[in-house]
Amino acid sequence: EIQIIFPVRGHSFMAADRCFGRVERILRKHPVITLKEDYISLYSEVGKVKCLGKDWKLYNIKQLETIYKKLQGISDKKRICIKKVQKNNKTEVYVASYSCYRFVTSNETRALIRK
């Protein structure tokens, strides 16, 4: 089971937020940056830089709508639980979405696979 929790905007004190502030300060000193390599060197002063195509891949998730159902209203939810279940030699994935961080507001789970 996977749980995804979305923090309230503007109330996050994560390490990525601190790095973002440091990067903004560095970028202010460089009004014009034209090369990708310059960006990489500036960002590497703050943390590890992973480059698209070398360190990670980008997938076209829009194509997944042909296989999986689109879940309406999921962007308004605070917590999403994804569960993989084996039934009769068949694997199914269920998604439950909740409006509250701690409380279960409904027992509605939906299957993702289109039938």
What average pLDDT does the structure give for the chain?
81
Each residue's pLDDT expressed in tens, for the chain with a length of 115 residues: 878 777 766 666 667 777 888 899 999 999 899 999 999 999 999 989 999 889 988 888 888 788 777 777 777 778 888 888 888 888 888 888 887 777 776 666 666 666 5
The encoded tokens of residue 10 equal 């503007």
User: Hey, where are the domains in the chain?
Assistant: 8-56, 59-115
CA 100 → CA 2, 6, 74, 76, 109, distances in Å?
A: 17, 10, 13, 10, 15
Q: What is the pTM of this model?
A: 0.50
